[in-house]
């Protein structure tokens, strides 16, 4: 299969263009079409000679994800289901900034992207892992989610606005750290001034706690933000809902987080879904506060989003508030997220699972 055009490095492209006898400026011109003007096909690169477009088409695939379904509207959380070249489905979620909450302009958006088809980590509460893991996403499939969204939203941009997405969170389907190399290459393109040009501080990686990869990321120069899906403050509770905790128990995970914080001098976030009767009790508040203080981390409490077929529930509002107040009283920086998109299966993996099961009602797709 031909390499994808959206995964070549500028050096690789430059070398290829040089070999074809193209002038030096062509490389920037092509990158400009791909990432700044964000074309949906080679034909749209109208100031590139037709012969060159032909050559590019013969040497590379132009393969952006195809939009299979969109849920939600322009000013709410919107969920995209993509069909990839091999027929696999993945999701991205576009979330508008809440001006009342963050004081940001309301035209700012955060995009949540997927990194794998399915997930091998099998957290008990999560839809993404329910049918297991299928494959890693390729570099262009990660970058492609952002580009395809921008293309889809082009008509909605207001005067002077050149793009929809300002923030990126790697919190969609899959475990980003288990697709480390492809993700890093994709983020290089997303972050680069010649690429999508989203600042490293506007990119957050979320992980269920793969300690070795956290250490690896700590030793690299990138300034991405890190979020840890904690969901349990003791090994006993965490291992019950997140099998990964048996491999990297809390002391190991926290050591890796400490390396990250030390290397980057940045605050990390603990994501903590509140699940009724599982991790929302008083017994978790003290240990959670201790970890947060040790790491200077902030805690983001998220009421559990119901997943069809799973028995877990979100606690009532009073329990959520009690948990939050418990942390605040211990001096922890904590917020309780009234998450958006509750009504459109916004938690990762849910829409894909639903459609997969409609398409393959007999069982799991191969």
Where along the sequence are the contacts to ligand SAH (CB under 6 A)? 125-126, 171, 175-176, 206-208, 229, 271, 273, 302, 304-305, 307, 347-348
129 binds, among ligand SF4, ligand SAH, none (CB under 5 to 8 A by kind): ligand SF4
Contacts 24+ apart (CB under 8 A), 24-29: 26/52, 28/194
Q: Is residue 274 helix, strand or coil? A: strand
Which is closer to ligand SF4, CB of 157 or CB of 310?
Answer: 310
Contact 310, 125 (CB under 8 A): yes
Catalytic residue among 112, 123, 257, 348: 348
Which is closer to ligand SAH, CB of 262 or CB of 311?
Answer: 311
Which is closer to ligand SF4, CB of 129 or CB of 195?
Answer: 129
Least distance from ligand SF4 to the Cβ atom of residue 89, Å: 15
Q: In a 10 Å sphere around its CB, with 0-12 CB exposed, 13-18 middle and 19+ buried, how is residue 306 labelled?
A: middle
Residues in 177-236 at the binding interface with ligand SF4, rule: CB under 6 A: 208, 229
Least distance from ligand SF4 to the Cβ atom of residue 178, Å: 8
Phi/psi at 131 (5° precision): -105, 20
Which is closer to ligand SF4, CB of 191 or CB of 245?
Answer: 245
138, 175, 280, 356: which one binds ligand SF4 (CB under 6 A): 175
Q: Quick one: how far is CA 327 from the chain centroid? A: 27
302 binds, among ligand SAH, ligand SF4, none (CB under 5 to 8 A by kind): ligand SAH
Residues in 274-333 at the binding interface with ligand SF4, rule: CB under 6 A: none
**Catalytic residue status for 91:** yes
Phi/psi at 77 (5° precision): -65, 135
Q: Which region among 7-15, 92-100, 115-123, 281-289 touches ligand SF4 (by CB under 6 A)?
A: 115-123
Catalytic residue among 91, 141, 175, 271: 91
Which is closer to ligand SF4, CB of 149 or CB of 307?
Answer: 307
Phi/psi at 270 (5° precision): -100, 120
Instruction: Count the residues of the shown chain that bind ligand SF4, applying the rule CB under 6 A.
Output: 12
Residue 301 CB: number of other CB atoms within 10 A?
20
E strand or H helix at 96: strand 89-96
Least distance from ligand SF4 to the Cβ atom of residue 136, Å: 13
Contact 197, 175 (CB under 8 A): no
362's CB contacts (< 8 A; 6+ apart) are none
Q: Which region among 46-54, 92-100, 117-125, 335-343 touches ligand SF4 (by CB under 6 A)?
A: 117-125
Q: In a 10 Å sphere around its CB, with 0-12 CB exposed, 13-18 middle and 19+ buried, how is residue 68 labelled?
A: middle
> Is 129 a binder of ligand SF4 (CB under 6 A)?
yes
Q: What does the block give as tokens for 261?
A: 């914080």
> Is 176 a binder of ligand SF4 (CB under 6 A)?
no
Least distance from ligand SAH to the Cβ atom of residue 176, Å: 6
Which is closer to ligand SF4, CB of 31 or CB of 217?
Answer: 217
| Residue whose pair of structure tokens reads 């190399």 in the numeric block | 181
Least distance from ligand SF4 to the Cβ atom of residue 53, Å: 39
User: Distance of CA 261 to CAs 62, 63, 176, 256, 258, Å?
Assistant: 39, 37, 19, 9, 5
Which is closer to ligand SF4, CB of 124 or CB of 152?
Answer: 124
Contact 85, 138 (CB under 8 A): no
- Return the active site residues: 91, 348
The site for ligand SF4 (CB under 6 A) is made up of 119, 121-123, 126, 128-129, 174-175, 208, 229, 348
């Amino acid at each position: 299969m031909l390499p994808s055009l959206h995964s070549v490095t500028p050096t690789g492209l430059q070398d290829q263009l040089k070999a074809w006898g193209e002038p030096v400026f062509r490389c920037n011109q092509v990158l400009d079409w791909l990432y700044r003007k964000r074309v949906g096909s080679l034909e749209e690169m109208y100031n590139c000679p037709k012969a060159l477009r032909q050559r590019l088409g013969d040497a590379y695939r132009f393969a952006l994800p195809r939009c299979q379904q969109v849920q939600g509207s322009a000013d709410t959380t919107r969920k995209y289901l993509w069909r990839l070249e091999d027929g696999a489905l993945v999701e991205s979620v576009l979330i508008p900034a809440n001006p009342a909450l963050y004081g940001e302009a309301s035209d700012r958006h955060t995009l949540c992207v997927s990194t794998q088809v399915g997930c091998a980590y099998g957290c008990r509460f999560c839809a993404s892992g329910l049918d297991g893991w299928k494959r890693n996403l390729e570099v262009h499939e990660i970058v492609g989610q952002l580009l395809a969204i921008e293309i889809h939203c082009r008509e909605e941009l207001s005067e002077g606005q050149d793009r929809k997405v300002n923030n990126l969170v790697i919190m969609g389907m899959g475990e980003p750290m288990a697709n480390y190399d492809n993700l890093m290459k994709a983020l290089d393109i997303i972050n680069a001034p010649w690429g999508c040009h989203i600042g490293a501080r506007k990119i957050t990686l979320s992980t269920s706690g793969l300690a070795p990869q956290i250490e690896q990321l700590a030793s690299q120069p990138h300034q991405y933000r890190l979020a840890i899906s904690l969901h349990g403050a003791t090994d006993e509770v965490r291992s019950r809902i997140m099998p990964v905790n048996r491999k990297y128990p809390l002391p190991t995970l926290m050591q890796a987080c400490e390396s990250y914080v030390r290397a980057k001098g940045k605050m990390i976030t603990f994501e903590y879904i509140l699940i009724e009767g599982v991790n929302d009790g008083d017994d978790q508040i003290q240990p959670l506060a201790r970890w947060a203080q040790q790491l200077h981390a902030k805690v983001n409490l998220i009421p559990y989003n119901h997943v069809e077929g799973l028995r877990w529930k979100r606690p009532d509002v009073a329990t959520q508030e009690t948990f939050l107040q418990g942390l605040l009283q211990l001096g922890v920086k904590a917020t309780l997220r009234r998450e958006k998109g509750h009504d459109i299966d916004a938690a990762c993996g849910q829409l894909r699972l639903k459609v997969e099961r409609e398409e393959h009602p007999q069982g799991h797709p191969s």
